């Protein structure tokens, strides 16, 4: 990780989740992995998502306004 702050390790160290589900749920809702992928893709392509290097985002960025 590139985040070497003490707070990062104190609050996140030792946390993990492993899901091994190869079959489809009985109610045809799909696997946990496919549901999470659908949520990610929905948010990634949302009209509310902005490219970090877009002009609109640069105007909102505090660092950009301060010239850092």
Query: Does 68 have pLDDT greater than 70?
Result: no
Residue 31 burial (CB < 10 Å; 0-12/13-18/19+)? middle
Domain ranges across the chain: 28-68
Q: What is the pTM of this model?
A: 0.48
pLDDT in tens, 31-44: 888 888 999 999 99
- Pull the structure tokens for residue 42: 């929905």
């Amino acid at each position: 990780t590139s985040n070497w702050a003490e707070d990062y390790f104190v609050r996140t160290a030792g946390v993990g989740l492993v899901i091994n589900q190869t079959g489809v749920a009985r109610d045809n809702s799909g696997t946990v992995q496919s549901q999470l992928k659908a949520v990610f893709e929905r948010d990634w392509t949302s009209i509310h998502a902005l490219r970090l290097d877009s002009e609109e985002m640069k105007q909102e960025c505090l660092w950009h306004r301060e010239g850092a």
